[in-house]
Amino acid sequence: MMNAGYEVTVGVPGLLEMIDTYDRPGVASATGAYTTTGTYACGFEDKPMKRIPKTGAYAAAGVGYAGAEWSVFNVEAKGPNAAAGVGASAGSASARAFAKAELASASACAGPLRAKVGLAVDTGVDVGLTGLEVKVLGTGVSIGRQMSISLFGSEIGFTLW
């Protein structure tokens, strides 16, 4: 199982973070019901997703997840789920705290571009030197390095650098 539908990194990959994923091998997974919790701390390792220092903790549970990733590309579909987490990243010089409950969603990322269609009540904040993201009940904006707009869980956005 890849990330089982929870966010474990801070921010969204941009050109800088692509150094963490350009050589990521292709994997695909699917699962029914799942629960997971964990912590992470990594950085300065010459391995995909571990080059840029980051740390955090998360918990998630849901029913139905399918996803695939390869290099800088990622797609996933999720059924009902809930997640919460906190994290910090040196790559985006930011700290993040979030909680979400989602009925269903489908999303795709290609490097710095991303789109998601779903129904969710994400609530949280991501504050850093390069921008600010605020969401309340799935609706919000991200301004700065990351630019996005969200409405009740559907989102479109991109990362500038």
> pTM above the 0.85 mark?
no
- Residue 106 falls inside a structural domain: yes
- Which pLDDT band, with edges at 50, 70 and 90, does 151 fall under? very high
* 2 within some domain: no
Which residues form the domain of 49?
17-159
Q: From residue 36, give the alpha-carbon distance in Å to each of 1, 82, 83, 134, 152.
A: 11, 11, 9, 25, 25
Across the chain, mean pLDDT equals 88
Asked whether residue 3 is assigned to any structural domain, the reply reads no
What average pLDDT does the segment 115-137 reach?
96
Structural domain includes residue 135: yes
Beta-bridge partner residues of 13: none
- Considering the domain boundaries, does residue 11 fall inside one? no
- 124 with 135: CB under 8 angstroms? yes
| Residue 1 within a domain | no
7 is a domain residue: no
Domain total in the chain: 1
4, part of any domain: no
Q: What is the pLDDT of residue 34?
A: 95
The pLDDT score that the predictor gives to residue 13 is 56
